[in-house]
Amino acid sequence: MLFNSQAFIIVFLPLTLIAYYGLSGHRTARQISVIVASLWFYGWWDVRFVPLLLGLTVANWLIARWFGGTGQRWIPVLGVVLNLLVLALFKYADFLRGTAFGLLNEPWQRWNLILPLGISFFVFQKISYLIDLRRGDRHIYGFLDFCMFVMFFPQLIAGPLIRHNEIIHQFGRPPRRPEMWENLSRGLVLFVIGVAKKVALADTMAMIADPLFHQAASAPLPAIPAWVAAFAYTLQIYFDFSGYSDMAIGLGRMFGFAFPMNFNAPYRAVSVRDFWRRWHMTLSRFLRDYLYIPLGGNRGSAARQIVNVVATMLLGGLWHGANWTFVVWGGLHGAALAVNHLWEKAGIRLPRAAAWLLTLVFVMAGWVLFRSASFGEAWGILAGMVGANGGGRIVLDQTSVLAMSAGFLIATLGPASQDIALRWARPPEWLAIPAGATLAYLLLLIGGRLPNVFIYFQF
């Protein structure tokens, strides 16, 4: 089930909220209602993977309880290995086999295992908890608390990557009527912003970018179509994923829970380091705390720091997808972060406008590699962007031009979504009318299209 579907907005969400607040005085009952709703939400996509989600959740809870009873430090490691093996089987089996057989120049057949929805996110979530246990955090939770931590539907499929100590303590707070309407209003405003980003902007950008990328897979693009493809996808992935995050955070707030921010106007960044402080912020801190720092972080020589950051980003790229294009994309960002560090250490400063433009062009070129199914497809666009295939031309309809222009202005000049819905003063009552009208329009727009899945669903 998609957040941007009529079934979710009109049926699933109201029923789940009614059940949750109707059981506000009974913690066990309201948690069970959310867990059952979350399994319904997850199983709507493919019910075959519900046993995997349940089984892995129970296994991790039992491992945590086992560790809590014995304190033996190898037990959480066993849990981490179990999670990584499950992720490797479903996500990387064909990738690893294909790489090995390719090096041996041997024929092979793909297993074509179906990737369970959201597996990268809920596996990382469990891994962070187990590592925290091993590091000395002694939070051993009850079964319902742990299940709700893992399965709570707003963040189950594509994050944000929420840590146990950020959310589980909130489950014990009974929903209070004075706070309920404020949480519902704030959450709804942020949810509507997210739906608008996805449906009105990201999906429109997809209609521009997708045909051009498909064309580049068979024939290199000239300069103008290549830049349009890169620009459109740069806007598409931002509004798609930040829109999902807005919806997820807004949904969490409707239930009275505060999620961490995940995006903070990343296309305003003036360096690659600044970009990663603003883009998918919960993943960035996961990579920092559970990969970069354990590898040595900023300790040691400059060469060692470079190795650490490049290794971290290579693994971060691989997490995004089982394709060498993702690995190279991660490596490029790792190298850029290393150069950025050396640049700053040398005291070099560019004018802010030049630093912003250089960062944006680098990020845009990186997204070409990220989006492409092969290096040939990526080269078909990147070569065009540097003028290798002539100028060319492209004809865009008025809606596409307006959407691209509005998207660029919003992404670079507009406020962060959370600042509008969560940090400003309480939303005024009159806002209910335009918010409701906007949601009604978006529902009509959704009904006129086939719902597009979110880009990060494939990760």
Burial 215-227 (b: 16+ CB within 10 A, else e): bbeeebbbbebbb
* Residues found in the chain: 459
Q: Which residue has the tokens 């995940």?
A: 262
For 157, 252, 259, 422, 442, the CA distances from 182, given in Å and listed in that order, are 26, 13, 16, 10, 23
Our answer to whether residue 139 is catalytic in this structure is no
Nearest CA to 151 out of 243, 49, 71, 245 is that of 49
Q: Catalytic residue among 164, 320, 333, 341, which?
A: 320
For 23, 37, 217, the CA distances from 186, given in Å and listed in that order, are 21, 22, 44
CB atoms within 10 A of CB 318: 19
Separation of alpha carbons 374 and 458, rounded Å:
16
CA angle 358/158/314 to nearest 5° reads: 50
Nearest CA to 249 out of 174, 175, 183 is that of 183
Nearest CA to 241 out of 160, 187, 167 is that of 160
Separation of alpha carbons 150 and 132, rounded Å:
15
Task: Cite the beta strand spans of 181-272 per DSSP E.
Answer: none
The residues near 347 (Cβ < 8 Å, ≥ 6 apart) are none
Catalytic residues: 320
